[in-house]
A and B are shown apart, each in its own frame.
Chain A
Amino acid sequence: MSAVAEQQTRVPSPTAGASAAPVQQQTVNRRRPEQGSRQEWIVVHVLYLIIVIFFFAPFLWLLTAAFDGDAVAYIRWPAQPTFANFTYVYQNFHIGRALANSLFISTATMLLSVVLVSLAAYSLSRLEFGLKSVVTYGVLVLQTMPLSATMVPIYGLARDLHLRNTYLGLILVHSAIEMPFLIWLMKGFFDTIPRYLEEAAWLDGRSKFRAWWEVVMPVARPGIVVIAGFAFLNAWSEVLMVIILVDDPGKSTVPLAFYQTFRSNGGYNEVNYGLVAAVGVIYVLPVIALFFSLRKMMVRGLMSTSRGL
């Protein structure tokens, strides 16, 4: 009986072994190359792990330190688990106010950027006008200028136009910083949208502007999401311009509050890491939430833009 069974497994009969045969074949095929590259596999995965730890460690520190009453500058399980850091920064650093300011300024910057960038990028993608290549590359040159080099004139301009300590000032500056890059990104995206789509809309009876709005923009939506995401993130994280334009605590943004927590003990020598980490968590969470809610579109948009560029 057992001999028969053994024989059946070794030399499968056409009926019983019909499904077994391909499986056997598959395992043989799969094992060979795998055995040859097992060391390779280990090396690659160890490298992956190192990279993941490298990028993930700061976030891990933020999370552990923020809930630690006696936080230190390295990662450890909270020695004194507590929410006290959050309540303290909320009461002493206008963090609620800063959060509201940041959300408002970033959202407004995002909206303004989307409108201006999509119009400018569409023009550069579609219209023929004199000095077009000069304008197109001029926009790119603007992006190469280091922001810190323009600090002084921007300060002077903002002071003379009474835009210091105002939302409008921050919104305008934040929009302007990223705009050249975003225009190029969006132009690449519009370039991939075939012209016949808008031509079809014109012939269907639409003006050029309505055709752009009703046909081109919906098709460009993944690109718009990328633009919006970049504009929001930049305004959210920008700190240099906030430092020079804002000294009224009521107009402070989260990055500025974050910066101030380092000095909570009167200087840089003695830093209260628990407070820094707590503000860090508050700072990072909205951005992570934004990314995860839009990630599908962001990824799709980024892929197609890079293809277009």
Chain B
Amino acid sequence: MAEIQFEHVVKQFPRQASPAVNDLSFTVNDGELLILLGPSGCGKTTALRMIAGLEEPDSGDIRIDGQSVVGMAPKDRDIALVFQQYALYPHLSARNNLLYPLKIQKISKQERQHRIDQTAELLKISHLLDRKPSQLSGGEQQRVALGRAIVRQPRVFLMDEPLSNLDAKLRTHMRTEIKTLQQELRATMAFVTHDQAEAMTMAERIAVMNGGRLQKLATPDEMYKFPANLFVAEFLGSPPMNILPVRQMDGHLSVPGGWSIPEPSRTKAPAELLLGIRPESIRVVAAGTPGAAPASVIVSEPLGSEVIVNVNLGETMVRVRTPPDVRPRPGEIVHLQPDFDGVRLFDKESGANLRS
């Protein structure tokens, strides 16, 4: 297995205003499942394709196991890539799809057979091996595509949104399977997705990208609790973090609509601040509770285990996560109290998190 390093990688496509990948530096550790997360067009797939050798960086260096792979042909990199569209060879049966890379590597017949049996068993595709891709369902094709990557025992696994063409139920199931598989194989894996739930559930670390730049590289927990900037705060979490305007009063931060929050000590003091608070850090309390502010309910969205209540706090819409039995009606006035531990402050100008 292997370690992948990006060092100040830049990639600019012709006829495009800004670079697809801009000064990207990060490391995927040996045996780690790292998720590249971001909206479409953020450069995550380009970054992945550069590891595979399907694109070449304009500047910077990409190293696998300490050795630069810039300029190396894809065939010499010993990397497996699972494509979003699976990319199974349509003219070959599932078995021959798995055999194809093994034949190229000139692996002995017995070893080939052994590996295919093992992989097919692992992915539960033994009964599908004699079918052509067109005779397989989306989920089955996906398994065969995974199988074609696994049989090779490559140094690195790359996954380009492999779950996005599956239906919701199968997608959740395959998430678990890929994660289990990765842990069993102790494989180095870079996984691209735009689905933050996928990233949160699967990743050991997440690299959030936007506009070709790395926004933050952290564990899912840290990413969720301490978003590095406004972009990450609003991208991660469902529903995302509430962002509210605040005014600085002496020693206090005042939120239009009523909250007053003790100002944390900060090194920098920007002119304008924004306050971020997760829906679960807001409590619905009885009227008259100290520190609580009234808000009018727009709509309640019951999700079974919880309810997302949309309210107007002052001029701003705020989402509050409540237990399933708290389900206020539209137009009702509720009283909300913030949990001070869950309050994050951002510089309005740069979007950066001002950590206390």
Q: Do A and B bind each other?
A: yes
Residues of A within 8 A of B (CB): 194, 196-197, 199-207, 215, 218-219, 221
Instruction: Report how far A218 CA is from B100 CA in the complex, Å.
Output: 14
Can you list 9 pairs linking A and B with CB atoms under 8 Å apart?
A: A199-B52, A199-B81, A200-B89, A202-B73, A203-B74, A205-B75, A205-B104, A219-B89, A219-B90
Q: Cβ of B101: which chain A residues have Cβ within 8 Å of it?
A: 204-205
Find chain A residues with CB under 8 A from B75 CB.
Answer: 202-207
> For the complex, is B152 an interface residue (Cβ under 8 Å from A)?
yes
Note all chain A residues with C-beta closer than 8 A to B80: 203
Contact A205 B87, CB 8 Å, known A199-B54, A199-B74, A200-B81: no
Given A199-B87, A205-B104, 15 extra CB contacts under 8 A:
A194-B85, A194-B87, A196-B85, A196-B87, A197-B89, A197-B90, A199-B52, A199-B54, A201-B100, A202-B53, A202-B54, A203-B53, A203-B74, A203-B75, A206-B104
Give A263 Cβ to nearest chain B Cβ, in Å.
Answer: 51
Residues of B close to A203: CB separation below 8 A: 52-54, 74-75, 77, 79-81
B301 to chain A, nearest CB (A): 38
Q: What residues of chain B lie closer than 8 Å to A206, measured between beta carbons?
A: 75, 104
Within 8 A of A (CB), among B79-95: 79-81, 83, 85, 87, 89-91
Residue of B nearest to A217 (CB): B91
Contact yes or no, A215 B73, CB < 8 A: no
* A204: chain B residues within 8 A (beta carbon): 75, 100-101, 104, 148, 152
CA distance A201 to B148 in the complex (A): 11
Closest to B158 in A: A203
Q: Which chain B positions have C-beta within 8 A of A221?
A: 91
| Alpha-carbon separation in the docked complex, A283 to B73 (Å) | 52
Chain B residue with minimal CB distance to A128? B14
Answer yes or no: B105 CB below 8 A from chain A CBs: yes
Given A204-B104, A206-B75, residue A219 in contact with residue B85 (CB < 8 A): no
**Which residues 45-62 in B have Cβ within 8 Å of A in the complex?**
52-54
In the complex, the answer to whether A202 meets B74 with C-beta atoms within 8 Å is yes
In the complex formed, the residue of A with least CB distance to B102 is: A204
How many pairs of A and B residues are in contact by the CB < 8 Å rule?
Answer: 56
Task: Give the distance in Å from the alpha carbon of A215 to the alpha carbon of B96 in the complex.
Answer: 12
| A residues in contact with B152, CB < 8 Å | 204
Alpha-carbon separation in the docked complex, A206 to B75 (Å): 6
List the B side residues contacting A197 at CB < 8 Å. 87, 89-90
Tell me the smallest distance from the CB of A207 to a CB of chain B, in Å. 6
The residue that B83 contacts in the complex, of A200, A207, A215, A218, with Cβ under 8 A, is: A200
Known pairs A202-B75, A204-B101; A219 contacts B91 (CB<8 A): yes
Assembled-state Cα–Cα distance A205/B79 (Å): 9
Q: A194 to B83: give the CA distance in the assembly, Å.
A: 12
Closest to A215 in B: B89
Q: How far apart are the CA atoms of A196 and B90 in the complex, in Å?
A: 12
Judging by beta carbons under 8 Å apart, are B87 and A200 in contact?
yes
In the bound complex, residues from chain B placing their C-beta under 8 Å from that of A202 are 53-54, 73-75
Q: Smallest CB-CB separation from A204: which chain B residue? A: B101
B91 interface neighbour in A196, A200, A205, A218, Cβ under 8 Å:
A218
Residues on the A chain within 8 Å of B148, using CB: 200, 204
The docked-state distance in angstroms from the alpha carbon of A206 to that of B73 is 10
Shortest distance from the beta carbon of A119 to any chain B beta carbon, whole Å: 20
Q: How far is the CB of B192 from chain A (nearest CB, A)?
A: 14
Question: Contact between A196 and B73 (Cβ–Cβ < 8 Å)?
Answer: no
**A205 — nearest CB in chain B belongs to which residue?**
B104
Report B-chain residues with C-beta under 8 Å of the C-beta of A219: 89-91
User: How far is it, in angstroms, between the C-alpha of A243 and the C-alpha of B80 when the chains are bound?
Assistant: 58
Question: What is the minimal beta-carbon distance from B94 to any residue of chain A, in angstroms?
Answer: 14
- For B83, the chain A residues whose CB sits under 8 A away are 196, 199-200
Q: Which residues of B218-261 are within 8 A (CB) of A?
A: none
- Which residues on A sit within 8 Å (CB–CB) of B100? 201, 204
- What is the distance, in angstroms, from B89's C-beta to the closest C-beta of chain A? 6
6 cross-chain pairs, A with B, having the tightest CB-CB distances, nearest first: A204-B101, A205-B104, A200-B87, A202-B74, A196-B87, A218-B91
- CA gap between A200 and B79 in the complex, in Å: 10
Pick the most buried of A194, A203, A206: most chain B CB atoms within 10 A of its CB: A203
A199 → chain B closest CB, angstroms? 6
Report the nearest B residue to A196, measured CB to CB. Answer: B87
Q: What chain A residues lie within 8 Å of B77 (beta carbons)?
A: 203
Q: Which residues of A contact B52 (CB under 8 A)?
A: 199, 203
| Distance between A190 CB and nearest chain B CB, rounded to angstroms | 15
Write the nearest CB–CB distance from B25 to chain A, whole angstroms: 24
Q: How far is the CA of A229 from the CA of B148 in the complex (A)?
A: 36
Write out the residue numbers on chain A whose beta carbons fall within 8 Å of the beta carbon of B79. Answer: 203
Instruction: Given A218-B91, A219-B90, verify A205-B85 contact (CB < 8 Å).
Output: no
List A contacts of B87 (CB < 8 A): 194, 196-197, 199-200
B105 is contacted by which of A194, A205, A207 (Cβ under 8 Å)?
A205
Please report the C-alpha to C-alpha distance between residue A264 and residue B218 in the assembled complex, in whole angstroms. 91
Complex: A175 Cα to B148 Cα, angstroms? 41
- Nearest A residue to B80 via CB reads A203
- B104 nearest CB neighbor, chain A only: A205
Q: Complex formed: what's the CA distance from A207 to B73 in Å?
A: 8
Q: B74 — nearest CB in chain A belongs to which residue?
A: A202
Q: Please give me the residue from chain A that is nearest to B89 by CB atom.
A: A215
State in angstroms the CA–CA spacing of A202 and B74 once bound together.
6
Least distance between B14 CB and chain A CB atoms (Å): 9
Q: Which residue of B lies closest to A197 (CB)?
A: B87
Closest A residue to B145 using CB positions: A200
Residue of A nearest to B100 (CB): A204
Bound CA span A221–B90, Å: 12
Complex Cα distance, B148 from A206, in Å, reads 14
Residue of A nearest to B160 (CB): A196
Report B138 CB to chain A, min CB distance, Å.
16
Cα A196 to Cα B53 in complex, Å, equals 13
| A199–B91 CA distance with the chains assembled, in angstroms | 16
Q: Roughly how many angstroms separate A32 CA and B79 CA in the complex, as a whole number? A: 65
B105, chain A: closest CB distance, angstroms: 6
A267 to chain B, nearest CB (A): 57
